[in-house]
Amino acid sequence: LQPVRTNLAMSYLLDNQPEKAAELLKEDALAEDASAVTRHNLALAYGMLGRHTEAKELVAGEMSEEEREASLKRLAQYIAGYD
């Protein structure tokens, strides 16, 4: 079920609905068996919402701050191209 929610959350992110994505992923991302994709998607949602401290904590040790910021920028550019 976690992969399905993770994919749905990415759909919300691509549709510029980070609140829905964050709500969907927040419990899954904290689980011991959470996938990196789930945590990264939640970090993207938090970044879109301006919750950068929480986003950094989610991906600490998995990606650098520069990589996190670049991912957020790519997502914003993607969204802007389809508005």
Query: Which of helix, strand or coil describes residue 51?
Result: coil
For the record, the structure tokens of 50 come out as: 């301006």
For 9-42, what is each residue's pLDDT tens digit?
A: 999 999 999 999 999 999 999 999 999 999 999 9
Which pLDDT tens digit goes with each residue over 50-73? 999 999 999 999 999 999 999 999
Distance, in Å, from the CA atom of 41 to the CA atom of 22, rounded to the nearest integer, reads 8
Q: By the 8 A CB rule, do 25 and 34 touch?
A: no
